[in-house]
C-alpha cells in the first residue's frame, strides 16, 4: 500500500505545470563552496567533546570540495553524452562566501564579516586548483555554477548565538564551523527570519552575493536555489532586480513565520511564473546516495525520471555536493561516483534521445516556447 501511495504521489506532482515534449535531464547540486566540517581532526574534536553530531551525514561527510573531488566528478560526467553530443552537465549551486572568523572575533562578535570563497579555498589543503577547475568544468560544459547564496549560514541567528558566548558556541567557533550545538540545523537556513525586519539585511546579502558571483565567474547567475528551500516571496523582487530569472526548488516553498522549524507552505510547479515573470523549476527526481541510506538510489532515480517523461516534464534531479566529497571519507566519493556512473549509463541507454541541460538552459528554453498560461 505504501508503495502504491508513493507511486501515485510521484505522478501527481508531475501533472500540473508546463509540459515539454522532449526528454530533458537537469542535475542540480547544492552547497558547493560552503564550509561544513573542516577536517577529520575537527570532527574527532567534536566527538571527543561530547557533541552529538555523528548522526548527521553532513557532519560526517561534507566539507569544502577538493581538487580530487572535482577531477573525479568530471571524469564521470565527461564519460556520457546526450543525443546532441553534449556531455552530462551538473548545475553547481555555489555559495560565494563564508564567515570571516578572524575578523568577526576581532570585532568582539559585534559585526559580521564575509570572506570570499576564493580566499577560503586558499586556507584549506588540496584546494589550490578548485577555482580553476570550476572555470574549466564550466568551459567544457560539465559543471555550470549558479547562485546559492552569499554564505550558507543564517547570519542573524548565528551572530546572536555567538554573542551569548556559551562554551559550546565558543568551541565550535574556534574550530571555524557554524555548528550550533543544540540541534538548530547548524544555522543553515539562510533566509529564515526572526522578524520581517530581517529581510532588509537578507536582501542586501543576496545583492552582494550575486555581484560577487559575477566577479568570480564572469557572468550573472540566471537562477537561484534558496538554502533549505526556505524563503519569503518578498526577496524575489531583489533577485529579479539582480538578474535572477529562475528559482530552483521543491514542490513546496517553506515560508518563514518567525521561528525555526515553523513554516507556512506555498506550492510551485515547473514553468509557473510569479508576478515578476520569474519561473519556478521544481525538482522531481533525487540522487542522494550519501543521504538516503539505501542501495536503490539509481533505480529510484530512474523510476522518477520515467514518471517525469511520461507526463512530458523535464527530469530535474537533486544531488547535493555531499555525495561526491572524499576528503573526510574517500569511500563516500568512490562509491557514489560509481552509482552516478550507473545512473548516467541507465539514462543514456533507456532514453537515447535524452538532452542534458543546465538549469538556466532549461529556463531559457521554457521562456522561449511557453506562452503566458504559466
3-state secondary structure 315-359: EEEECCHHHHCCCCCHHHHHHHHHHHHHHHHHHHHHCCCCEEECH
Tell me the pTM. 0.96
Predicted local confidence at residue 256, as pLDDT: 97
Predicted local confidence at residue 290, as pLDDT: 96
Note down pLDDT in tens along the chain; length 374 residues.
666 667 777 888 898 888 999 999 999 999 999 999 999 999 999 999 998 887 889 999 999 999 999 999 999 999 999 999 999 999 999 999 999 999 999 999 999 999 999 999 999 999 999 999 999 999 999 999 999 999 999 999 999 999 999 999 999 999 999 988 665 578 999 999 999 999 999 999 999 999 999 999 999 999 999 999 999 999 999 999 999 999 999 999 999 999 998 999 999 999 999 999 999 999 999 999 999 876 799 999 999 999 999 999 999 999 999 999 999 999 999 999 999 999 999 999 999 999 999 999 999 999 998 755 44
- Supply 43's cell numbers: 570532527
Helix (H, G, I), strand (E, B) or coil at 284: coil
Hey, which residues does 356 pair with through a beta bridge? 25
Predicted local confidence at residue 4, as pLDDT: 66
Residues 6+ apart with CB under 8 A from 7: none
Predicted local confidence at residue 370, as pLDDT: 73
Domains, the chain, with CATH or none: 2-369 (3.20.20.370)
Running DSSP on this structure, what letter comes out for residue 185?
Answer: G
In sequence order, what DSSP letters do the residues of 8-69 get, joined into one string? HHHHHTTSSS---SS-EEEEEEEEET------HHHHHHHHHHT---TT-HHHHH--S--HHH
Q: Are strands 143-149 and 90-95 parallel, antiparallel or unpaired?
A: parallel
Predicted local confidence at residue 186, as pLDDT: 86
- Supply 108's cell numbers: 568582539
- Furthest-apart CA atoms within the chain: distance in Å: 59
Amino acid at each position: 500500500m505504501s508503495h502504491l501511495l508513493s507511486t501515485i504521489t510521484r505522478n501527481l506532482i508531475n501533472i500540473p505545470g508546463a509540459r515539454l515534449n522532449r526528454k530533458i535531464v537537469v542535475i542540480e547540486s547544492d552547497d558547493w563552496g560552503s564550509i561544513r566540517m573542516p577536517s577529520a581532526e575537527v570532527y574527532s574534536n567534536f566527538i571527543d567533546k561530547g557533541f552529538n553530531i555523528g548522526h548527521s551525514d553532513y557532519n560526517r561527510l561534507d566539507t569544502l570540495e577538493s581538487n580530487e573531488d572535482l577531477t573525479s566528478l568530471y571524469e564521470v560526467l565527461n564519460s556520457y553524452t546526450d543525443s546532441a553530443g553534449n556531455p552530462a552537465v551538473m548545475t553547481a549551486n555555489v555559495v560565494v562566501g563564508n564567515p570571516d572568523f578572524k575578523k568577526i572575533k576581532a570585532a568582539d562578535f559585534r559585526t559580521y564579516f564575509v570572506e570570499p570563497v576564493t580566499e577560503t579555498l586558499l586556507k584549506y589543503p588540496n584546494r589550490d586548483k578548485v577555482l580553476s577547475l570550476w572555470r574549466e568544468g564550466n568551459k567544457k560544459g560539465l559543471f555550470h555554477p549558479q547562485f546559492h547564496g552569499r554564505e550558507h549560514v543564517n547570519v542573524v541567528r548565528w551572530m546572536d548565538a555567538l554573542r551569548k558566548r556559551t562554551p559550546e558556541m565558543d568551541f565550535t567557533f574556534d574550530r571555524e564551523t557554524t555548528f550550533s550545538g543544540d540541534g538548530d540545523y547548524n544555522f543553515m537556513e539562510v533566509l529564515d527570519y526572526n522578524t520581517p525586519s530581517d529581510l532588509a539585511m537578507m536582501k542586501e546579502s543576496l545583492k552582494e552575493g550575486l555581484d560577487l558571483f559575477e566577479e568570480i565567474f564572469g557572468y550573472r547567475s540566471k537562477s537561484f536555489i534558496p538554502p533549505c528551500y526556505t524563503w519569503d516571496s518578498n526577496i524575489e523582487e531583489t533577485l529579479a532586480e539582480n538578474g535572477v530569472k529562475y528559482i530552483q526548488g521543491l514542490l513546496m516553498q517553506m515560508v518563514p513565520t518567525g521561528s525555526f522549524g515553523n513554516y507556512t507552505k506555498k506550492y510551485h510547479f515547473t514553468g509557473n511564473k510569479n508576478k515578476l515573470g520569474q519561473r519556478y523549476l521544481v525538482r522531481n527526481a533525487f540522487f542522494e546516495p550519501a543521504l538516503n541510506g539505501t542501495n536503490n538510489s539509481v533505480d529510484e532515480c530512474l523510476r522518477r525520471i520515467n514518471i517525469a517523461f511520461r507526463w512530458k516534464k523535464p527530469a530535474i534531479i537533486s544531488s547535493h555536493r555531499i555525495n561526491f566529497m572524499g576528503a573526510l571519507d574517500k569511500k563516500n566519493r568512490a562509491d557514489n561516483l560509481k552509482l552516478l556512473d550507473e545512473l548516467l549509463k541507465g539514462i543514456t541507454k533507456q532514453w537515447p534521445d535524452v538532452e542534458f541541460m543546465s538549469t538556466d538552459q532549461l529556463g531559457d528554453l521554457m521562456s522561449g516556447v511557453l506562452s503566458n498560461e504559466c
